[in-house]
Amino acid sequence: MTIETLTAFFGWCSVLNVGLLIFTVLALLVMRNFAVKTHSQMFGVNPDDLPKMYFTYVANYKIAIIMLNIVPYCALKIMLMTS
């Protein structure tokens, strides 16, 4: 596997994961009441705790995207530019 292939892979992973993150945030903003009602019934969680749980999920997912997709992509791009 070449550096170019890995760079393309991490680039597309970044695009897909950022797209999913944006979709998740928009879905939570638009359908907040529906999501809270559904998740509190499905998992027996207090509805008042769910907004904090959603925020934690989105924050952790964003950190994972940065560390596991965007940083390797940038490092590979720098490697390609300097070689």
Instruction: Kindly state the tokens that stand for 35.
Output: 């999501």
Q: Which domain holds residue 78?
A: 3-82
Rounding to the nearest 10 degrees, give the CA dihedral for residues 60, 62, 63, 65. 120
Say how many domains are in the chain: 1
Note down pLDDT in tens along the chain; length 83 residues. 899 999 999 999 999 999 999 999 999 999 999 999 999 999 999 999 999 999 999 999 999 999 999 999 999 999 999 98
Residue corresponding to tokens 């998992």: 43
Identify the pLDDT of residue 83. Answer: 81
CA distances to 7, 15, 56, 67, 78 from 25, rounded to whole Å, are: 27, 15, 12, 19, 31
CA distance 54 to 33: 12
